């Protein structure tokens, strides 16, 4: 298969096999239920079955994000260095599965917080590893289209996993959801190991230039982050997840208080609704980001967050909550695609693609952790509507900041991108780490 048909002269074409590309599809599909462990289901489980208050639930959810914050940047740097990317993904998936089983078997506060931290640290491997495997397999020209496909398969996997989780919880209790995560972890490990190792260009996977010279110059970390566009985008990611992360868990807790029964089914329906929307949104975002540019597409995803936060205040009706959650499909679907493309733009030729991916994921972890903790305490003191209004205000501020501060990153070549203020230039004699 020619994966770079129509590529520009001087760009090295990549020819991954159907087996490797199909396995990458499978990896993204099965990782959907592994990346976040129990995700928003954990809050509903702890509140409904073990009667935790909103503040304790918020701390438990934040523990996973803290683990991610501590591990994500080192995980990105590790993926830049190692050739065993497939094995790293398989081991991380097994760790997440084991942690989820501990959450169910020993739901004590200290154990839950510790298990969540371990799950967050293990899951830190997934975003940079999947992005690196993708870039190393298909190259830069196909990267936007392939990233959209990755996200589409990931969201399709979330639809299937959420439907299974809701159905299994309804029929067999919450324990079946924890077993589902373990099964998906095993399947994701098998999928990643089926990718053919010789077809992965590990130099390209870390952000090398993919021109004819295929340079592997690696700049210093301090020099990398002197590019103001990188720090601006990372700050934007913090605000995006600060506003977004707690919305669905809060909606699940609000529904569990109002419905008393069937909260897991409502949560499952919310997740399915959003993930169904994310599939076409991810595919469309990958194409529009290549034609419109990255910034306008990302701005659309940011702008839906304050609207969603306000709408959650109006009703606890399960059908209404599912309808509001459709907006999450737009925001998250766009973020998952465009964030990878922006980092690829900003790190071309630096050898720091995965480290920057890790730093971005650390930022999202910071934002998500702050979101869950702040929302939990706001809800405890002032109620669910106050929590949603707080998140909506943060989202509005983040949208304005991104619109004013972030430049477009898509360039036809590295030379034209150097016109951006504060961009790092890759020195000819850069020192490899």
Report how far residue 356's alpha carbon sits from residue 341's, in angstroms, rounded to the nearest whole number.
12
162, 173, 276, 322, 424 from 268: Cα distances, Å:
5, 14, 12, 9, 44
- Find out whether 218 and 351 touch, Cβ atoms under 8 Å: yes
Domain membership of residue 415 (yes or no) is no
Is it the case that residue 14 has pLDDT exceeding 80?
no
Average pLDDT estimate for 90-119: 89
Give me the sign of the Cα torsion angle 348, 349, 350, 352.
positive
Return mean pLDDT, the chain. Answer: 81
pLDDT, greater one: 178 or 5: 178
Domain membership of residue 266 (yes or no) is yes
What is the per-residue pLDDT across 198-231, written as a single tens digit (0 to 9) for each?
A: 999 888 888 776 654 555 566 777 788 888 899 9
Q: Is the pTM of this model over 0.75?
A: no
Domain membership of residue 416 (yes or no) is no
Report how far residue 160's alpha carbon sits from residue 152's, in angstroms, rounded to the nearest whole number.
13
Domain membership of residue 368 (yes or no) is yes
Got the DSSP string for 157-183? HHHHHHHHHHHHHHHH-THHHHHHHHH
Is it the case that residue 393 has pLDDT exceeding 90?
yes
Q: How confident is the model at residue 342 (pLDDT cuts 50, 70, 90)?
A: very high
Interacting residues of 334 by C-beta distance below 8 A, sequence separation 6+:
281, 282, 285, 297, 298, 300, 301
Which of 370, 306, 291 minimizes the C-alpha distance to 338?
Answer: 291
Tally of residues, the chain: 433
Show the CA angle centred on residue 39, arms to residues 134 and 280, nearest 5°.
Answer: 50
Domain membership of residue 299 (yes or no) is yes
- Find out whether 185 and 93 touch, Cβ atoms under 8 Å: yes
Is it the case that residue 419 has pLDDT exceeding 80?
no
Half-sphere exposure of 199 (CA within 13 A, CB side): 23
Is it the case that residue 415 has pLDDT exceeding 50?
no
DSSP three-state, residue 327: helix
- The percent helix, strand, coil of the chain (3-state, each to 5) is 75, 0, 25
Which of 32, 132, 89, 121 minimizes the C-alpha distance to 343?
Answer: 132
Which residue has 């079946």 as its token pair? 176
Is it the case that residue 12 has pLDDT exceeding 70?
no
Report how far residue 251's alpha carbon sits from residue 255's, in angstroms, rounded to the nearest whole number.
6
Decide: residue 423, CB within 10 A, 0-12 exposed, 13-18 middle, 19+ buried.
middle
- Find out whether 356 and 346 touch, Cβ atoms under 8 Å: yes
Is it the case that residue 395 has pLDDT exceeding 50?
yes
Q: What is the largest CA-CA distance in the chain?
A: 64
Average pLDDT estimate for 343-368: 83
Q: How confident is the model at residue 36 (pLDDT cuts 50, 70, 90)?
A: low
| CATH number, residue 185 | 1.20.1250.20
How many domains are contained in the chain?
1
Backbone phi, psi, residue 35, to 5°: -55, -45
Lowest mean pLDDT among 37-46, 116-125, 269-278, 350-359: 37-46
Domain membership of residue 185 (yes or no) is yes
- The pLDDT score that the predictor gives to residue 260 is 52
Backbone phi, psi, residue 211, to 5°: -75, -175
Domain membership of residue 33 (yes or no) is yes
- Find out whether 271 and 156 touch, Cβ atoms under 8 Å: no
Domain membership of residue 342 (yes or no) is yes
Residue range of the domain that includes 302: 20-205+215-409
Show the CA angle centred on residue 81, arms to residues 181 and 145, nearest 5°.
Answer: 60
């Amino acid at each position: 298969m020619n994966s770079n048909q129509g590529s520009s002269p001087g760009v090295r074409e990549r020819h991954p096999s159907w087996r490797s590309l199909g396995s990458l599809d499978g990896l993204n599909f099965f990782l959907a239920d592994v990346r976040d462990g129990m995700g928003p289901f954990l809050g509903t489980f702890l509140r409904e079955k073990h009667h935790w208050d909103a503040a304790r639930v918020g701390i438990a959810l934040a523990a996973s994000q803290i683990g991610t914050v501590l591990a994500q940047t080192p995980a990105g740097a590790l993926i830049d260095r190692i050739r065993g990317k497939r094995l790293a993904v398989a081991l991380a998936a097994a760790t997440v599965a084991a942690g989820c089983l501990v959450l169910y078997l020993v739901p004590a506060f200290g154990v839950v917080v510790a298990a969540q931290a371990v799950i967050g640290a293990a899951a830190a491997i997934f975003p940079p590893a999947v992005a690196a495997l993708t870039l190393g397999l298909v190259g830069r020209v196909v990267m936007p289209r392939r990233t959209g496909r990755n996200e589409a398969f990931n969201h399709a996997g979330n639809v299937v996993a959420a439907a299974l989780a809701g159905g299994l919880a309804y029929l067999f209790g919450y324990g079946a959801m924890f077993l589902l995560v373990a099964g998906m972890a095993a399947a994701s490990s098998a999928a990643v190991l089926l990718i053919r190792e010789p077809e992965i260009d590990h130099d390209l996977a870390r952000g090398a230039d993919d021109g004819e010279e295929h340079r592997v110059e690696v700049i210093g970390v301090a020099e990398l982050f002197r590019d103001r566009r990188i720090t601006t985008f990372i700050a934007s990611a913090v605000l995006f997840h600060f506003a977004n992360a707690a919305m669905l868990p809060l909606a699940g807790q609000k529904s569990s208080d109002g419905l008393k029964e069937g909260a897991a089914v409502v949560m499952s329906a919310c997740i399915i609704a959003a993930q169904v929307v994310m599939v076409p949104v991810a595919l469309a975002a990958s194409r529009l980001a290549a034609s419109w540019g990255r910034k306008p597409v990302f701005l659309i995803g940011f702008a839906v967050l304050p609207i969603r936060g306000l709408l959650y205040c109006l009703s606890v009706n399960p059908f209404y909550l599912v309808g509001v959650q459709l907006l999450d499909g737009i925001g998250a679907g766009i973020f998952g695609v465009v964030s990878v493309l922006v980092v690829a733009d900003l790190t071309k030729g630096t050898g720091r693609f995965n480290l920057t991916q890790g730093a971005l994921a650390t930022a999202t972890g910071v934002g998500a952790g702050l979101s869950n903790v702040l929302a939990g305490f706001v809800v405890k003191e002032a109620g669910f509507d106050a929590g949603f209004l707080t998140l909506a205000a943060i989202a509005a501020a983040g949208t304005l900041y991104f619109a004013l501060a972030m430049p477009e990153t898509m360039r036809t070549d590295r030379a034209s991108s150097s016109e951006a203020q504060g961009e790092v230039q890759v020195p000819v004699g850069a020192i490899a780490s």
